[in-house]
């Protein structure tokens, strides 16, 4: 069994000041860029719960003391992420977005997955989705321009979440390997998870932009495309990192980004956006 060799996830009970004067379009007044981040937040309450349950279902395979400690901290980190995104999403609800219906659809999808497929494949789904979140988070930490102009509280939330996603990026993968997960199974599950995840992201973006009255705005779609792939290019480089998952020898810590985590920890101690 391979355990994640570098970083022990650290539990930080942070609480963000969503009740402060955060503008509706908090990402520098850019409506559709803001809605893209809001889009992702809607996934997290149900998603984090699914991740925790799928790893805990394999606790009998977690015999390595280091991995056991990582798993415990993973549960705590994901639980706090879920709490903060529930609070974040409550703000979106107060702004009139159809968040409750969207959250229910995500929850229904994950319940269906839990009912239809065996628990080890559910863990393979978690491993696949954790790879996605860790990579998107890595790109966010790597380039400060991704959150440039964002309200400090929201920028702090997303950078905190990004850092912790990378701290625990190997936990589900290592538990999956310990439980006897196969290379073929994890690759096949990743293909299906990719299709379903991005279809849901697109669905969310359409619903939020429809609510904002920007769904048929070429300029808004162009701005989103530019943000993701041109300047700053929040997802530029995602493809190559994503396909690393299909290498037989892949491990999440092949992408060693401890330097980014260390830089964020220095920010954590200096920024008033983080409160405990």
User: Quick one: what percent of the chain has pLDDT higher than 90?
Assistant: 92
Residue 30 lies in a domain: no
Distance (Å, whole) CA 227 – CA 33:
7
Domain hosting 266: range is 40-270
Q: List pLDDT tens digits, range 142-181.
A: 999 999 999 999 999 999 999 999 999 999 999 999 999 9
Residue 150 carries which DSSP code? B
* Rounded alpha-carbon distances, angstroms, from residue 72 to 50, 54, 244: 15, 13, 27
Q: In the structure, what pLDDT confidence band is assigned to residue 275 with cuts at 50, 70 and 90?
A: low
Q: In the structure, what pLDDT confidence band is assigned to residue 1 with cuts at 50, 70 and 90?
A: very low
Instruction: Please spell the DSSP secondary structure of 91-147, one letter per residue.
Output: HHHHTT--HHHHHHHHHHHHHHHHHHS-HHHHHHHHHHHHHHHHHHHHHHHH-GGGG
What pLDDT is stored for residue 38 in this prediction? 98
Q: List pLDDT tens digits, range 224-269.
A: 999 999 999 999 999 999 999 999 999 999 999 999 999 999 988 6
What pLDDT is stored for residue 169 in this prediction? 97
**What is the total count of domains within the chain?**
1
Tell me which H or E stretch contains 216.
Answer: none
Closest CA to 46 of 110, 100, 98, 97: 110
What pLDDT is stored for residue 109 in this prediction? 96
Mean pLDDT calculated for residue range 188-209: 97
Mean pLDDT calculated for residue range 25-51: 97
Mean pLDDT calculated for residue range 99-114: 96
Q: Which residue has the higher pLDDT, 274 or 155?
A: 155
Q: In the structure, what pLDDT confidence band is assigned to residue 272 with cuts at 50, 70 and 90?
A: low
The pTM of the full predicted model, rounded to 2 decimals, is 0.94
Residue 22 lies in a domain: no
Q: List pLDDT tens digits, range 44-97.
A: 999 999 999 999 999 999 999 999 999 999 999 999 999 999 999 999 999 999
Closest CA to 247 of 158, 171, 186: 186
Q: Which residue has the higher pLDDT, 215 or 2?
A: 215
Distance (Å, whole) CA 233 – CA 238:
10
What pLDDT is stored for residue 270 in this prediction? 63
Residue 28 lies in a domain: no
């Amino acid at each position: 069994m391979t355990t994640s060799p570098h970083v022990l996830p650290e539990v930080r009970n942070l609480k963000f000041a969503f009740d402060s004067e955060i503008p509706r379009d908090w990402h520098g007044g850019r409506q559709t860029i803001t809605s893209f981040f809001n889009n992702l937040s809607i996934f997290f309450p149900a998603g984090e719960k699914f991740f925790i349950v799928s790893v805990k279902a394999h606790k009998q395979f977690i015999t390595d003391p280091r991995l056991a400690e990582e798993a415990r901290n993973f549960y705590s980190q994901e639980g706090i992420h879920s709490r903060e995104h529930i609070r974040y999403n409550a703000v979106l609800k107060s702004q009139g977005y159809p968040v409750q219906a969207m959250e229910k659809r995500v929850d229904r999808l994950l319940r269906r997955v839990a009912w239809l497929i065996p628990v080890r494949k559910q863990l393979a789904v978690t491993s696949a989705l954790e790879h996605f979140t860790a990579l998107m988070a890595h790109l966010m930490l790597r380039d400060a321009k991704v959150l440039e102009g964002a309200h400090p509280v929201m920028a702090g939330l997303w950078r905190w979440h990004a850092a912790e996603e990378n701290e625990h990026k190997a936990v589900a993968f290592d538990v999956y390997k310990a439980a006897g997960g196969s290379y073929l199974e994890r690759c096949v599950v990743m293909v299906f998870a990719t299709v379903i995840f991005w279809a849901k992201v697109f669905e969310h973006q359409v619903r939020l932009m429809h609510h904002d009255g920007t769904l048929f705005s070429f300029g808004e779609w162009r701005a989103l495309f530019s943000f993701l792939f041109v300047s700053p290019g929040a997802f530029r480089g995602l493809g190559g990192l994503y396909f690393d998952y299909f290498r037989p020898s892949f491990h999440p810590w092949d992408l060693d980004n401890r330097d980014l985590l260390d830089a964020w920890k220095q920010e954590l101690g200096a920024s008033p956006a983080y409160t405990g």
